[in-house]
A and B are shown apart, each in its own frame.
Chain A
Amino acid sequence: MRESGALKLLTDTWRGRFGVAVILVAVFVSIFGTLIAPYEPEASSLDVLQPPSLDHWLGTTESGADVFSQLLVGTRVSVLVGFAAAIISAVLGSMVGIASGYFGGWTDRILDALENWFLVIPTLPLMIVLARLLDPSLIVLIAVIGFTSWAGTGRIVRAQVLTLRERSFVERARALGAGDGYIIRTHILPNTLPLIFASTVLIIAVAILSEAALAFLGLGDPTRISWGTMLQNAFDSGAPSAGAWWYVIPPGLCITLLVLAVSLLGFLYEEYINPRLRRES
């Protein structure tokens, strides 16, 4: 019953359809991109910076590689980094936020200080420093983005848990002799999920953008093509000033579309999980 309600929201609204379509395509391409790419993504040729043609749908790069193929192959890194980093961030943020809000006292004070520290430190410079210190690789990228972006989620979750902790249904469960684990699982977490999800959605977006930014600055995984490294190469080779829009716009547009799709699904999810936002049928 719950599942059909969720499906209905996804299939009956344009936001749901758009979000699902973009994400399905992105996930499909990130899995099979290497197989459907018409050219070897890094194969150089003599057709340097050619505009779109029948041979090269999105033109070619400064080294004569096919932009369309790079775009398809690069999807994997953006999707992987975006989702994996957001999951790390959501898990960290909700664990810290719940522990901090639920247990209070010294636990709260220490975790809160940690949270403040991460909130105050500018994230991008921190990411750059961390990514520079560690050898750039996909795992490092995911870890760096995940570990630097959980503080906002932690703060939101903590605030929600502070109010939930005082509700009488939590008190009632305590009066029944329920343990902390049970109360967190059945009363705190379900009432915090929409917030966790909503902020995780934003973090997916931030993570995709951060990956692009780090790659753009040359801190991405050098062995893999991503939308960010495509932009980096484009700018390094002076493609924008050469008028090679086909090299700049596709990766930028892909980043934007994916971020938009993820956000729309996030809002729909919130509507679904919060019964009050749901329309009575």
Chain B
Amino acid sequence: MSDGVKTTAVDPSAGEDLMAVEDLSVHFRQRRKVARALDGVSLEWRRGEVLGVVGESGCGKSTLARAMLGLQETAGGEVTLHGNEATGKKGLAELRRRIQMIFQDPYQTLNPRQRVRAIVTEPLIVQNVDRSEHTERVRRALGDVGMDPDRFLDRYPHQLSGGQRQRVAIAAALVLEPEGLICDEPVSMLDASVRSQILAVLLELQQRRNLALIFITHDLSLAWSLCDRIAVMYLGRIVEQGTAVDVIESPKHPYTQALVTAVPVPTAKGREDRELLKGELPDSTRVPAGCRFNPRCPRRFEPCDKVDPTLIDVGTSGHKAACLLYDPAAAEGGAPAPGYSDTSGEPG
């Protein structure tokens, strides 16, 4: 693991990375405005690692997942798989064999006209896997997610419960035996009891197959219990990242601190140090100048609306935060960070 700020394209830890994104941006054009759904995101996803991506709705979590899989046109930046660029015909083909995705809504993720058999076989057909292997691999994938193939192969999605649907979706993602699985809020639409079963299935697979997972969620306690590392996103940027223990137990960025204190704790008194966030997530067409969190930040100070902070080390083992509190040089120098400022971006 490298602790330093990533400055060069050749990173010593690149060999361990399953995927990496570097300065990735995604812009959506809305009439005359431009929404910056992703605004310079850099992130490494290591082999066999469970990486949590947390943040409010609309912060760009799902866009990040889609951009990583080449499903979203990017405005800039680079996505790599095993250190090789994952774009172009060849790169994308490789990416699509090794990385799979499962989606939030189990009711939308399966084609209502396909039986379970066809749904789970589809990846094998698309990836031109030899026909003789299909039956065997489909049955194995269903078995892996705890579904009896004989009972379920000929069912239609409308004959399955939400949890069963999500299992089928996981089976369809696993049938190609990927190295990484991106899960976009995989349990947020399921009942609490089913939720833990699905999570158990995912974690078991992760351990048994050394499968790397990206877990996109807005549930911080879930991320804490599942993930090795966590990246916290705010308005299209990563504002803090590090090991799950570091990020949750000693959060550095005021946004992460606010998220952590907002998690309910089961004591009679509740939390006393609770500091809830004011205001709402700004529109991504109007990203605030300076630090994008400054209008809502309880600890903002002088340079915050002028200087755009970058991720810097705030601890050991790769704990980084993008906050001027920990970057006195940038705060004093007033050098405008290379970010964007939409309205009044004059350096102070």
Q: How many A-B residue pairs have C-beta atoms within 8 angstroms? Tell me.
A: 59
B112 lies within 8 A of A191 (CB): yes
Q: Which of B183-203 contact A (CB under 8 A)?
A: none
B141 to chain A, nearest CB (A): 14
A169 lies within 8 A of B111 (CB): yes
Q: Mark A79-111, 1 if CB is under 8 A from B, else 0.
A: 000000000000000000000000000000000
| Interchain CA distance A190-B157 in the complex, whole Å | 15
Query: Count of chain A residues with Cβ under 8 Å from any Cβ of B?
Result: 18
A168 lies within 8 A of B109 (CB): yes
Q: Mark A112-131, 1 if CB is under 8 A from B, else 0.
A: 00000000000000000000
From A153-161, A171-179, A221-229, A263-271, the one touching the partner chain is A171-179
A98 to chain B, nearest CB (A): 16
A190 lies within 8 A of B113 (CB): yes
| Interchain CA distance A176-B129 in the complex, whole Å | 12
A172 lies within 8 A of B109 (CB): yes
Q: Which of B64-81 contact A (CB under 8 A)?
A: 66, 69, 71
CB neighbours (8 Å) of B97 from chain A are 177
In the complex, B126 has a CB within 8 A of chain A: yes
In the complex, B127 has a CB within 8 A of chain A: yes
Scoring B97, B103, B110, B111 by chain A CB atoms within 10 A of each residue's CB, the highest score goes to B111
A173 lies within 8 A of B126 (CB): yes
In the complex, A187 has a CB within 8 A of chain B: yes
B126 touches which one: A169, A177, A190 (CB < 8 A)? A177
A177 lies within 8 A of B92 (CB): yes
Closest chain B residue to A174, Cβ basis: B71
Scoring A174, A176, A178 by chain B CB atoms within 10 A of each residue's CB, the highest score goes to A176
In the complex, A11 has a CB within 8 A of chain B: no
Query: Count of chain B residues with Cβ under 8 Å from any Cβ of A?
Result: 28
B127 touches which one: A169, A177, A186 (CB < 8 A)? A177
CB neighbours (8 Å) of A173 from chain B are 122, 126
CB neighbours (8 Å) of B110 from chain A are 169
Closest chain B residue to A194, Cβ basis: B113
A186 lies within 8 A of B122 (CB): yes
Closest chain B residue to A187, Cβ basis: B111
Closest chain B residue to A189, Cβ basis: B113
CB neighbours (8 Å) of B176 from chain A are 176
Known: A168-B103, A168-B105. A175 touches B111 (CB 8 A): no
CB neighbours (8 Å) of B92 from chain A are 177
* Interface SS majority for chain A: helix
Q: Which of A264-281 contact B (CB under 8 A)?
A: 275-276
CB neighbours (8 Å) of A28 from chain B are none
A169 lies within 8 A of B96 (CB): no
A276 touches which one: B66, B114, B158, B172 (CB < 8 A)? B158
A275 lies within 8 A of B156 (CB): yes
In the complex, A132 has a CB within 8 A of chain B: no
B113 to chain A, nearest CB (A): 4
CB neighbours (8 Å) of A174 from chain B are 71
In the complex, A167 has a CB within 8 A of chain B: yes
Closest chain A residue to B70, Cβ basis: A175
CB neighbours (8 Å) of B236 from chain A are none
In the complex, A182 has a CB within 8 A of chain B: yes
In the complex, B101 has a CB within 8 A of chain A: yes
Known: A177-B127, A182-B126, A186-B122. A172 touches B103 (CB 8 A): yes
In the complex, B108 has a CB within 8 A of chain A: yes
B108 lies within 8 A of A167 (CB): yes
| Interchain CA distance A190-B92 in the complex, whole Å | 27
| Interchain CA distance A178-B111 in the complex, whole Å | 15
A175 lies within 8 A of B100 (CB): yes
Q: Which of B97-149 contact A (CB under 8 A)?
A: 97, 100-101, 103-105, 108-114, 122-123, 126-127
Instruction: List chain B positions with a Cβ less than 8 A from chain A.
Output: 66, 69, 71, 92-93, 96-97, 100-101, 103-105, 108-114, 122-123, 126-127, 156, 158, 169, 172, 176
| Interchain residue pairs with CB less than 8 A apart (15) | A167-B109, A168-B103, A168-B105, A168-B108, A168-B109, A172-B101, A173-B126, A175-B101, A177-B97, A177-B127, A186-B111, A186-B122, A187-B111, A275-B113, A275-B158
Instruction: List chain A positions with a Cβ less than 8 A from chain B.
Output: 167-169, 171-178, 182, 186-187, 190-191, 275-276
Closest 6 CB pairs of A and B: A177-B96, A168-B103, A190-B113, A168-B109, A169-B111, A176-B126
With A167-B108, A168-B108 already in contact, 19 other A-B pairs whose C-beta atoms are closer than 8 Å: A168-B103, A169-B108, A169-B109, A172-B103, A172-B109, A172-B169, A175-B71, A176-B100, A176-B122, A176-B123, A176-B126, A176-B127, A177-B92, A177-B96, A177-B97, A178-B126, A182-B126, A190-B114, A275-B112
